[in-house]
Amino acid sequence: MQKILVCWVGRTDLRASLGELKGNAKGPIASAVAARPFDAIQLLANYPKKEVKAFVDWLGGQTNTPISVDQYDLKTPTDFEEIFPACKKSLNALQKSYPDSLELTFHLSPGTPHMASTWLILSETEFPASLIDSSPEQGVRDVRLPVSLSSEWLPSYIKNRDARLEGVAPELPPPSAQFKSIIHASQVMKKAIYRASKVSPRSVPVLIEGESGTGKELFARAIHDASLRKDGDFIAVNCGALPKDLIESTLFGHEKGSFTGANSMQKGKFELAHGGTLFLDELGELPMEAQVSFLRVLEEKKIWRVGGKSSIDIDVRIVAATNRSLIKEVAEGNFREDLFYRLAVAVLKLPPLRQREGDLKLLIRHLLDQVNKESREEPSYKDKKLSPKGEKIMLQHTWPGNVRELLNTLRRLAVWSDDVMITAEDVQDGLLSDLSKLKKGGDVLSREIGESFDLTELLDEVEQHYIEKAWLESGKRKKEAATLLGLQHYQTLTKRLEKYGIES
C-alpha cells in the first residue's frame, strides 16, 4: 500500500523555505513530512513556478521521499469552481498511477480555507482519505469529522437544495454558461436545459432521447462541461457505427495477440474516459450480447480487456443518447430491461424543432451567421442574407431532420444562391422533400397496391399533410386554417388537430 501525502503549497510553506518564520519553523508541509512516513508527496501549487521550484528543492533537502508537483493557474485561491476540479484532476492521476494500492492523506493546513474545505468533501465522498493538520503549538495531528459528509450531511443538503430548485422551477432560472450555446427561446427547451443543468453536477447516468438532429451530443457536451468531471476527457462513441466483431474491443480495449490483427495493446473507450464522461450515441443500436457486457461493467465498475487476465477499475460517467424510445424497445424485446433501468436514472427528452415555438426564427438567423463565418475564407464568397419571403417559407417547413437539416439547408442555400440575397425561389429549390412523407413509396397517386397498402392510412397521411400546412400558413389560427381547407366549421378542424397531435 502506497501512502501518499496530498496538499496545496501554502504561503507559510514558501516563507519557511526562505527562513522567514519565527525560530526557523518548518511550516505545515515539512512538519508533516518530518513527523510521519510517506511513500510519495503530491503537491498542488498556484504560486509562480520559480517560487514553487525553490520550495520543492528546499523540501527535498528535508526528506528522501519523492515529490511531485501539479501546477495550476488559479485566478483566485478562494474560488471553489477552480479549486475543486484541480484537486480532482490530481487525485484521478494518482489513482491511475496506483490503481490497486493507494492510501491518501490530505493535509488541511497549507493553502486557503476553501482548499481545506475541498479536501474535507473529497475525503468523505469520491476519494476516501485520512486528514491531518498542523500547528507550531500542537504539531501534526489527525483530524476526524463529527459527522459523515457522505452518509449524513450531503444527502440532506442535496435533498433540501433540490427542493428549493423545484420550488423555483416554474420561473426556470437562466442557463449556466455551459448551456448558452444552445439557441432557444421556447419554454419546452428552457425546461430541457434546466433539467440538464440540474443533473450536471451529479455523477448519475443520463439518457437523452430525441429525434435525429435535435442536439443530443450538444446537450451531452454541455452536461460534461458543467459537471465536476469537466477536466476529464469527453469520449464520444457512435454505437451504430461499431462493427459487431469489434464492439467489445472498441469499448473495453484488447491485449496484444488477443485476436488476429491485435498487434499491440489498445485501451478501450471506457478506459480512455476514466475520470471523465463517456457519451454513447445511438445506444439502441447495441446488439444484445454487447448489452450484457455493458451491464456487467456498469454494475462492477470494472472492465476486462479482450484477452486480458485481470480487471481494470474505471470511474466513468455515462451519458447515452438514442433517437428511439428505449422503453418501447424494451417492450418489444430489442433492449435489455435491466440495462435500461441502469441507464434511465436521469432521462432528458429533447423536443423536435416543430415543437419549439419561437425557436425557429432565432435558429435560422444564428445558423446563417455561422454559415457566413465558415465560408468567408472561400474564394469569392459574400455574406448571404435571407429575404423575408424566403424566411417565411422556411418558417412553414416542418424540418423532419431538425436543427441538423436546418443547418445543412442554409449551407446549401449559401452555395447555390447567385446573389447576396437568398430569395424565396432559392429556398423552394433548396428545401429537400419531407422524407417522412416519401418513405411509403413516392407520390401519393403512384403508390404500389399490394399486401402492405392501406387506403385509410394513406388518406390520413394526405389529410395530416394539408392540415399541418394550413395550420402553419394561417399563423396557427383555427378559423383562418379552416377557411384555407374549405371547412365550414372550425370545430371540425379542432377534432383533426387533436387526432394528429398538431396543435400540441
Q: Does residue 162 or residue 498 have the better pLDDT?
A: 498
pLDDT at residue 125, as a whole number: 75
Residue 168 has pLDDT above 50, yes or no: no
Instruction: Note whether 180-351 and 354-432 share their fold.
Output: no
Residue 315 exposed, middle or buried by CB count within 10 Å (0-12, 13-18, 19+) = middle
Query: If you search the block for the grid coordinates 479482450, which residue do you land on?
Result: 306
Percent of the chain at pLDDT exceeding 90: 59
317, β-bridge pairs: 277
Which fold, 2-142?
Answer: Rossmann fold (3.40.50)
Residue 63 exposed, middle or buried by CB count within 10 Å (0-12, 13-18, 19+) = middle
Which fold, 180-351?
Answer: Rossmann fold (3.40.50)
Adjacency order of strands within the sheet including 2-8: 67-71, 40-45, 2-8, 102-107, 129-135, 139-142
pLDDT band at 253 (very low <50, low <70, confident <90, very high): very high
Residue 170 has pLDDT above 90, yes or no: no
Residue ranges per structural domain of the chain: 2-142, 180-351, 354-432, 455-500
pLDDT band at 2 (very low <50, low <70, confident <90, very high): confident
Instruction: Tell me what the mean pLDDT of segment 488-498 comes to.
Output: 82
Residue 474 has pLDDT above 50, yes or no: yes
pLDDT band at 152 (very low <50, low <70, confident <90, very high): very low
Mean pLDDT highest for which of 146-160, 338-352, 432-446? 338-352
Whole-angstrom distance, CA of residue 80 vs CA of residue 86: 10
* Helix, strand, coil share (%) of the chain residues, nearest 5: 50, 15, 35
pLDDT at residue 93, as a whole number: 92
Whole-angstrom distance, CA of residue 91 vs CA of residue 444: 63
Tell me: the pLDDT tens digits for 85-113? 999 999 999 988 887 678 899 999 999 99
Percent of the chain at pLDDT exceeding 70: 89
Which range (179-193, 242-256, 288-302, 484-498) has the least confidence? 484-498
Region 354-432: CATH code: 1.10.8.60
Residue 19, number of CB atoms within 10 A of its CB: 9
Whole-angstrom distance, CA of residue 503 vs CA of residue 477: 10
Q: What are phi and psi of 426, to 5 degrees?
A: -60, -45
Q: Does residue 26 or residue 235 have the better pLDDT?
A: 235
Instruction: Tell me what the mean pLDDT of segment 377-391 comes to.
Output: 89
Whole-angstrom distance, CA of residue 267 vs CA of residue 249: 8
Residue 163 has pLDDT above 50, yes or no: no
